[in-house]
């Protein structure tokens, strides 16, 4: 499975690799599952994902899928308070004017934080040897990541197989034979 030769096959191997390489293995696993959902049969996801609203960058799509997880977070209230304080001079005191301005700034800030979290999780996935990352877009051979380029994530073959396996093959129960010591 890529860089980390000690990764065992299957979901257990993925869990173990993430536990060793990530400070937030559960979040990284959620990101991995979303990458697998967006990936084609070849395991390549990105740079865009088609949605009913149109094409969205892969990182923004993953971020939007994970946004419901942080709806009740106490940090959101503290962030909103800080943003209201920072917007102080622009606020009029009229809720009809202020609320859309606060909500817009709040959503922009959450999107920035979410994209950074997704990128950090993908870095952990790359470090664990589960995913490869490259960039595609306007200037693909540019040494900097910018340049209107967007992330493309490629699942390693064993990772893709483990995530797409629907279930393990059932083991047919065997009837105990007479004389077996450990009959059920």
Which structural domain, as residue segments, surrounds residue 14? 10-70+121-164
Taking only the tens place, the pLDDT of each residue in 148-181 is: 678 899 999 999 988 887 444 555 555 555 655 5
CATH number for the domain harbouring residue 45: 1.10.10
Compute the 3-state secondary structure of the chain and give helix, strand, coil in percent, each to the nearest 5: 50, 15, 35
Residue 122 has which token pair? 């993908």
Taking only the tens place, the pLDDT of each residue in 68-98 is: 877 666 777 778 888 888 888 888 888 888 8
Supply φ then ψ for residue 168, to 5 degrees.
-75, 150
Name the CA dihedral angle for 113, 134, 4, 20, rounded to a multiple of 10 degrees.
0
Q: How many CA atoms lie within 13 A of 106 on its CB side?
A: 18
Q: 104: pLDDT confidence band, cut at 50, 70 and 90? A: confident
Give Dmax (Cα) for the chain. 87
d(CA 135, CA 44): 12
d(CA 156, CA 168): 20
Mean pLDDT over each residue of the chain, to the nearest integer:
81
Residue 71 has which token pair? 């709806």
User: Domain for residue 79, yes or no?
Assistant: no
User: Domain for residue 59, yes or no?
Assistant: yes
The owner of tokens 């990530």 is: 22
The pTM assigned to this predicted structure is 0.76
Per-residue pLDDT, 167: 45
User: Domain for residue 137, yes or no?
Assistant: yes
Taking only the tens place, the pLDDT of each residue in 12-62 is: 899 999 999 999 999 999 999 999 999 998 999 989 999 998 999 999 999
User: Domain for residue 87, yes or no?
Assistant: no
d(CA 181, CA 70): 54
Q: Which helix (H) or strand (E) holds 109?
A: helix 95-127
Per-residue pLDDT, 175: 59
User: Domain for residue 136, yes or no?
Assistant: yes
User: Domain for residue 111, yes or no?
Assistant: no
Residue 142 has which token pair? 């540019």
User: Domain for residue 36, yes or no?
Assistant: yes
Domain count, the chain: 1
User: Domain for residue 77, yes or no?
Assistant: no
Residue 183 has which token pair? 């009959």
d(CA 138, CA 144): 12
d(CA 39, CA 46): 7
Under 8 Å between Cβ of 121 and 27: yes
**Pick from 122, 103, 111, 28: nearest CA to 63:** 111
């Amino acid at each position: 499975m890529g860089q980390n030769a000690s990764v065992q096959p299957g979901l257990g191997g993925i869990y173990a690799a993430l536990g060793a390489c990530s400070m937030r293995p559960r979040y990284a696993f959620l990101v991995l599952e979303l990458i697998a959902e967006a990936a084609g049969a070849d395991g390549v996801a990105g740079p865009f994902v088609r949605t009913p609203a149109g094409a969205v960058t892969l990182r923004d799509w993953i971020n939007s899928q994970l946004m419901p997880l942080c709806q009740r977070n106490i940090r959101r209230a503290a962030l909103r308070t800080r943003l209201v304080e920072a917007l102080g001079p622009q606020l009029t005191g009229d809720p009809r004017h202020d609320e859309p301005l606060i909500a817009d700034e709040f959503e922009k800030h959450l999107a920035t934080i979410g994209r950074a979290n997704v990128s950090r999780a993908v870095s952990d996935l790359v470090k664990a040897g589960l995913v490869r990352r490259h960039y595609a877009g306007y200037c693909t051979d540019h040494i900097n990541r910018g340049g209107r380029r967007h992330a493309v994530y490629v699942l390693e073959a064993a990772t893709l197989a483990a995530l797409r396996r629907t279930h393990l093959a059932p083991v047919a129960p065997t009837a105990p034979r007479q004389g077996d010591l450990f009959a059920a």
